[in-house]
Structure 1
Amino acid sequence: MDIQIRASQGLRGTCWQVCLGKHQVNFRSEEEARQFVVTLQARVQAPHPLPNEQRLAS
């Protein structure tokens, strides 16, 4: 997953954006943006259980 953090100029001054492909999430500070990325990466890398094959056969 391509994740980028960048500063952006808005009506209220500089804000920070986390860019996930075409999606952008705005934050008030660089620290908030970086913490969001850490949380997001941890969730993406976490093990995800696959559906039970027996349940799919029913």
Structure 2
Amino acid sequence: MKILIKEVAKSQWQVRLDQHAVTFRSEAEALAFTKTLEARLLAPHQIPDHQQQRAAG
């Protein structure tokens, strides 16, 4: 996923995630959001076991 931070107007910052954009009031807010997003993306993820889901459902 490509993440881009840029100033789009005075006191308005945008974080672009591929084609999705989220706007913030400050660069600090945009950077904090990006840091949290990257941490979540890099966190280990468990792949669900579809056999267990079918048996339970």
Structure-2-length-normalised TM-score: 0.83
Identity %: 45
More helix as a share of residues: 2
Q: Structure 2: which amino acid aligns with 1:8?
A: V
More strand as a share of residues: 1
RMSD of aligned alpha carbons: 1.5
1:3 corresponding residue in structure 2: 3
Match of 1:42 among 6, 23, 39: 39
Q: How far off its partner does 1:47 sit?
A: 0.6
Q: Structure 1: which amino acid aligns with 2:35?
A: V
Q: How does 1:1-58 map to 2 (within 5 A)?
A: 1-9=1-9, 13-52=10-49, 54-55=51-52, 58=55
Deviating 4+ runs (over 6 angstroms): none
Q: How far off its partner does 1:55 sit?
A: 1.5
Q: Matched residue pairs, number?
A: 55
Gaps of 5+ in 1: none
